[in-house]
C-alpha cells in the first residue's frame, strides 16, 4: 500500500496507520516535497502530471513488482494526494489492486 499525502502536508499526516497495517501489508508513506523530503528541483515537478510521474517512477525504482503479489499495489490518497493517486493509477493500468481516495479533491478534468 502506498500512502500519498495532500497539498502542503507530509507523510506524517498518516501517523501510525501504515505501521498498523504493515502487519498484514507492505506499506509505504511517501513524501512529495512539502514536508521532510527534499524539494523537487524543477518547477514542473509541482504539477499533477509531475507528481503522478514521480509516483510511477518511485514504484519502478523500488521495484514494487518484486514485493507485491500479482504485481499489483493499492494506492491511498488524501485530499490532493487522492487526485495524484487517481492520475498515477491511469498510468499504472493493470498494476493497481485498489484505489482509496480519502477526502479527495481535484478530479475535474481527469
| pLDDT tens per residue, range 12-25 | 888 888 889 988 88
Q: What gap in Å lies between CA 71 and CA 36, rounded to an integer?
A: 29
| pLDDT tens per residue, range 56-106 | 999 888 877 666 656 789 999 998 899 999 999 999 988 889 999 998 766
Is the pLDDT higher at 80 or at 108? 80
Architecture per CATH, 2-102: 3-Layer(aba) Sandwich (3.40)
Dihedral sign for Cα atoms in the order 98, 86, 77, 95: positive
Q: What gap in Å lies between CA 52 and CA 91, rounded to an integer?
A: 8
CA 85-62-84 angle, to 5 degrees, is 10
Amino acid at each position: 500500500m502506498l500512502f500519498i499525502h495532500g497539498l502542503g502536508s507530509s507523510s506524517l499526516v498518516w501517523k501510525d496507520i501504515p505501521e498498523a497495517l504493515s502487519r498484514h501489508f507492505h506499506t509505504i508513506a511517501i513524501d512529495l516535497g512539502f514536508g521532510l523530503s527534499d524539494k523537487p528541483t524543477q518547477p514542473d515537478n509541482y504539477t499533477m502530471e509531475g507528481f503522478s510521474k514521480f509516483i510511477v517512477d518511485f514504484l519502478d525504482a523500488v521495484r514494487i513488482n518484486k514485493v507485491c503479489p500479482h504485481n499489483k499495489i493499492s494506492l491511498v490518497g488524501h485530499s490532493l494526494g487522492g487526485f495524484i493517486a487517481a492520475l498515477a493509477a491511469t498510468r499504472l493500468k493493470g498494476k493497481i489492486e485498489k484505489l482509496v481516495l480519502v477526502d479527495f479533491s481535484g478530479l475535474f478534468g481527469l
